[in-house]
């Protein structure tokens, strides 16, 4: 699936997506076939290698933070400081810190090392530093991987049906509204998900990642949810202390703004990996784990692929083998492509174009193949208007 895809000539009065749809039938290969295609060393986790990536990211962030002490030097014009230096720092630091987020996310998958206690310790420390409740997210994210593409049980960016469209979806019908929608999603989408389970599956009661008794978690997980909360309290207290020493404005410029960049990338990456006109979603009777895992698409973020440790351009392999460390994911992706054939989906559309298109075109899901009522496809609100008008 390259940029633009192979356009299909629409029938009279029918709008067909510009992308050919991914196969939705049960694939002619198994997970075992895919695993055998991957060199065995790709599944090996190296504690030293993983720590080297983490240390490199932390060193870059530390150097960037140290450099900010010169941004407001008397010899630096204020316009240069606030229109060039600080925005560059926020963008670069936030991008590298997203890499730290990705490594901590690997800890939740036990892909950082062979030692569970090391994985959870590293994940707890660095996810907490980014104000992420490590264990809480680990549990809900694990269920996302277990139920990807399931309309009943997936945990994030579950698309609505035509009869359950959110009221604010009307914003996607015009350019200014799409800009407002995207801005809110990128800046507030992550805390909204953690606090209210926005875009997630429906639960009975208040689904919240900070409440141990939330319906997201079972009883055996509640203690560790509390541990996540206590770790966040410690980090917030540390930030409060720093703000008292250096001021709130300093804290926002050095820490807060880059964190907003991290949160924006997290939401954008997750949204674009699982939202695409060519990807199917499944009802319970049609869903199975392998087809669900394949209902994702690799995206190209250019040089940011390196900063983000290739979480976006190897996401298909990640969903198939989530305990594989990121530094083997590119090799594994190339190895499974011949086996996957048309089941492998990649879109090289520039990210800024893709997010604008997906917000416009992917508003709800609907089954449109009579022989496959349990396979649903992304539709736009304009599709719904045209359908009602016929």
In this predicted model, what pLDDT tens digit does every residue of 274-300 receive, in sequence order?
999 999 999 999 999 999 999 999 999
**pLDDT tops 80 at residue 260:** yes
**DSSP state at residue 299:** E
Q: How far apart are CA 242 and CA 313, in angstroms?
A: 37
**pLDDT tops 80 at residue 32:** yes
For residue 383, the model assigns a pLDDT of 83
Question: Collapsing DSSP states into helix, strand and coil, what is residue 135?
Answer: helix
**DSSP state at residue 21:** P
For residue 163, the model assigns a pLDDT of 87
**pLDDT tops 80 at residue 387:** no
Q: Give the helix/strand (H/E) hosting 142.
A: helix 134-146
Mean pLDDT of 174-181: 95
Confidence class for position 19, pLDDT limits 50, 70, 90: confident
Whole-model pTM: value is 0.93
**pLDDT tops 90 at residue 333:** yes
**pLDDT tops 70 at residue 9:** no
In this predicted model, what pLDDT tens digit does every residue of 340-380 receive, in sequence order?
999 999 999 999 999 999 999 999 999 998 899 999 999 99
Average predicted confidence (pLDDT) for the chain: 93
Q: Treating both helix axes as pointing N-terminal to C-terminal, what angle do 86-108 and 257-274 enclose, rounded to 10 degrees?
A: 50
| Chain CA centroid to CA 386, Å | 32
Q: How far apart are CA 204 and CA 222, in angstroms?
A: 17
> What percent of the chain lies above the pLDDT cut of 70?
95
Mean pLDDT of 95-101: 98
In this predicted model, what pLDDT tens digit does every residue of 103-136 receive, in sequence order?
999 999 999 999 999 999 999 999 999 999 999 9
CB 367 within 8 A of CB 375: yes
**Bridging pattern class, strands 346-347 and 364-366:** unpaired
Confidence class for position 384, pLDDT limits 50, 70, 90: confident
For residue 75, the model assigns a pLDDT of 93
Question: Collapsing DSSP states into helix, strand and coil, what is residue 83?
Answer: helix
Confidence class for position 201, pLDDT limits 50, 70, 90: very high
CB 273 within 8 A of CB 297: yes
For residue 16, the model assigns a pLDDT of 47
For residue 17, the model assigns a pLDDT of 52
**DSSP state at residue 10:** P
Mean pLDDT of 237-265: 98
In this predicted model, what pLDDT tens digit does every residue of 67-84 receive, in sequence order?
999 999 999 999 999 999
For residue 388, the model assigns a pLDDT of 74
For residue 386, the model assigns a pLDDT of 76
């Amino acid at each position: 699936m390259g940029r633009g895809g192979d356009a299909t000539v629409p029938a009279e009065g029918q709008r067909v997506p510009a992308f050919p749809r991914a196969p939705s039938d049960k694939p002619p290969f198994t997970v075992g076939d895919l695993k055998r295609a991957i060199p065995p060393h790709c599944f090996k986790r190296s504690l030293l290698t993983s720590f080297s990536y983490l240390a490199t990211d932390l060193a870059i962030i530390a150097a960037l933070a140290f450099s900010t002490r010169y941004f407001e030097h008397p010899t630096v014009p204020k316009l240069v400081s606030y229109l060039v230096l600080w925005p560059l720092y926020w963008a670069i630091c936030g991008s590298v810190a997203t890499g730290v987020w990705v490594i901590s996310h690997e800890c939740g998958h036990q892909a950082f090392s062979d030692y569970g206690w090391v994985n959870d310790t590293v994940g707890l420390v660095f996810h907490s530093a980014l104000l992420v409740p490590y264990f809480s997210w680990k549990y809900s994210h694990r269920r996302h991987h277990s139920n990807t593409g399931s309309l009943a049980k997936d945990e994030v960016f579950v698309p609505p049906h035509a009869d359950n469209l959110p009221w604010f979806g009307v914003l996607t019908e015009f350019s200014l509204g799409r800009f407002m929608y995207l801005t809110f999603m990128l800046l507030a989408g992550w805390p909204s998900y953690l606090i209210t389970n926005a875009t997630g599956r429906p639960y009975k009661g208040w689904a919240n990642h900070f409440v141990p008794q939330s319906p997201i978690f079972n009883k055996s997980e509640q203690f560790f949810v509390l541990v996540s909360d206590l770790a966040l309290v410690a980090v917030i207290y540390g930030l409060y202390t720093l703000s008292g020493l250096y001021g709130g404005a300093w804290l926002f410029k050095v820490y807060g703004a880059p964190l907003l960049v991290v949160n924006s990338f997290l939401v954008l990456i997750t949204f674009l990996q699982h939202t695409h006109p060519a990807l199917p979603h499944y009802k319970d009777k049609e869903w199975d784990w392998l087809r669900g895992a394949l209902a994702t698409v690799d995206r190209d973020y250019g040089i940011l692929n390196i900063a983000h440790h290739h979480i976006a351009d190897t996401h298909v392999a990640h969903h198939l083998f989530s305990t594989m460390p990121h530094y083997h994911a590119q090799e594994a992706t190339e190895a499974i492509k011949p086996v996957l054939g048309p089941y492998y989906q990649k879109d090289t559309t520039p990210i800024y174009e893709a997010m604008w298109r997906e917000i416009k075109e992917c508003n709800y899901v609907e089954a449109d193949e009579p022989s496959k009522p349990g396979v649903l496809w992304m539709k736009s609100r304009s599709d719904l208007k045209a359908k009602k008008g016929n």
